[in-house]
Amino acid sequence: MNDKLMTMTVKYTNGNTQMFQFPRQSDAHNVGARIQEALASGNLLIDLGDSTMLIPLNSVESVTVAPSPEKLPMNAIRDAQLIKG
């Protein structure tokens, strides 16, 4: 993967999955803070260039971002390994 790009996989409660690719966010407002804001607002807002997608978090089962953001919220469990699932 290009080291300047990130991917985000959104798995929905209905079993569907969407995958997004975006440039690393270089502003002071890092991805970890954006995750916290999404949790607080109850929505995930994604700028797709020609449109904007609003995803209600109550329809989301999980969100995976790779590579892992450098800055994560304080409550993040660090250096974990997925061993099953």
CATH classification of the domain holding 11: 2.30.30
Q: In which domain, by residue range, is 36 found?
A: 5-66
Q: Indicate left, alpha or beta for 57 from its phi (over 0: left) and psi (-120 to 50: alpha).
A: alpha
Number of compact structural domains in the chain: 1
Is residue 36 domain-resident? Answer: yes
Q: Is the peptide bond before 67 cis (omega within 30 degrees of 0)?
A: yes
**Segment 7-60, tens digit of pLDDT:** 999 999 999 999 999 988 766 456 667 777 888 999 999 999 999 999 999 999
